[in-house]
Structure 1
Amino acid sequence: MTTAEAIALVTTARTPDDLFGGDFPHRAYRRLARLLHPDLAPGAEAAEAFSRLARLWAARDGASASKGAPKGASERAKETVITTRRGTYRIGGVFRRGASAVLYESGPDTLLKLPRSHADNDLMRREAESLETIARDGDPLLLPYVPRVVESFRHRSGGIERQANVLSRVPDGFLSLEEVRRRRPVLDVRDAAWIWRRLLVVVGAAHRAGVAHGAVFGHHVLVHPLDHGLVLVDWSQSVPLGTPITALVARHRDDYPAGVLARRPATPATDIHLATRCVAALMGDRVPAPVRNFVRGSLLSPPNDAWRLLGELDDLLDDLYGPRKYRPLHL
């Protein structure tokens, strides 16, 4: 994002949610503040946008407080320090709350992930093991598609011991596919295509390392609309290929292929099916017949090789649209 784009975004925002309504409000604010800060972006337009950004952020905090949500300042007041054999982490406010775990601010480049219940310690261990396996056995060129485990350790607080994961923070500017759908309910096939291609790359890389993600859903897929980056997060439901997926995301039960619900061993086709459903939801119903047929085939009989499907997808896109061209995803 450029300074001019940031000025336009802030100037046209009507409510705080227009700027900070996604999964990562603090990150959105920090990115815009850096682009518009008077020391870095001189000029009357940038200064006015910076002031408006501050007012909208303050209004968001006020709205959160009125709803009983913790304000950023009060969360920072609760900051604690955790020192391990490998590092020291200043644990600040809540970054994001999930169904089974909470992400906390822990540094400029990291987040601390703790399960809500110690009964889910195994999910944290599973995530750390899978990401370490991918880092060790996967293609180094594809590692930016997944978070990095900085450290995994046991943390005792209030008499309860929980498994903690310190994970690399996804760079600023990324949005979940749920947020993309909130802003633009239907995407052009060409915009959805690069997301699909990158999803196939990341699950294909994991499969080559022997890991199935097991929960490729919109809130776990983060994309950068302008840079076309993608990161697949939350590997706590992942399993080694050939073993059943035992931790299911309840609200997505109907999205899983029948084999998962029957506790059959996970295969590459499991992730490919889920990734296809993710992308199909972005495109809606008004798509060219060849694409619609390709999606249907990928759902009914997904291959066991993401790279093969990627090649077939590229052939289809070439036939329909010719050589690929960069298309910024404007939200």
Structure 2
Amino acid sequence: MSSRPPLIPVVDPDAILARARDTFDIEAAAVAGLKTRVGPTFVAAVRKILEVRGRVVVMGMGKSGHVGRKIAATLASTGTPAMFVHPAEASHGDLGMIKSVDLVLAISNSGEVEELTTLLPVVKRQGVPMIAMTGRAESTLARYADIVLDSGVEKEACPLNLAPTASTTAQMALGDALAVALLDARGFAAADFARSHPGGALGRKLLTHVSDVMRSGDAVPRVTPEASVSALMRAMSIQGFGATAVVDAEGRASGIFTDGDLRRLIEAGTDLRTPTAAQIMHPAPRTIRADALAVEAAELMEQHGITRLFVVDAAGLLIGALNTTDLMRAKVI
């Protein structure tokens, strides 16, 4: 017996777009409504979290739980130690993860979800401070909390007014506001953010130094000012850098000669048998310190329209070299 294929609903483009736009309006209104309701209790919540010696333990069930996981991750990445504990798992042993030095941020739009309310007396007996994020100020969750953050919305974007939509958007925005306010209060800087995101683009830019990506030792092509053109060519080709430094007797880079310079000399018909490196080099090449950020090297190259830099120490002695390929390999650019 063959089964009929499922019927595909008739698509009305105008109705679909109207519903989408209505969703945006409802959720935007839900977030905008929070702006008028944040006040002394929000400040108190920030102060309470700043006082915590342990972690912010975020809890929530269902869609509020998914929002809670995101809020915990955002807090942790912006300077506020945090973790998510699932209320159902907490009832079966994970409650032991919460210590008296911690703070619980409990999220529930109704404030009556059983898996969460069951835990509230236990958390309270442990002396753990609690912040509630709820849409009902008279709920069980709100009554147990030390501080209540109002995340209520007039209606859900769901046409049935059932599926958590606007309410979870409001929770997410309120959690972001907490994280950003805490970040600002702690003086959390871009470098701090990079340390918690070493694998990200920002982390690479703020944690990678020139010394991490530069060529050093024999990999840095160099010749003396008296070197011939053929010696210049050998230095450039052996190291594959496409340029060579011209160093003085003390080891300072007094000039640079590139494969582009060689090409231009040949095109001009220059007799290459007699010039020395000092006669055809570009004097005073651009340099950078080894302890500078690699992103600073990239900015210096872009500013001056060059693709290579020599690296010097505090005394100005040549200790390394790098080019745009080295920076791209390190994913700095």
What TM-score, normalized by structure 2, do the two folds share? 0.18
What TM-score, normalized by structure 1, do the two folds share? 0.18
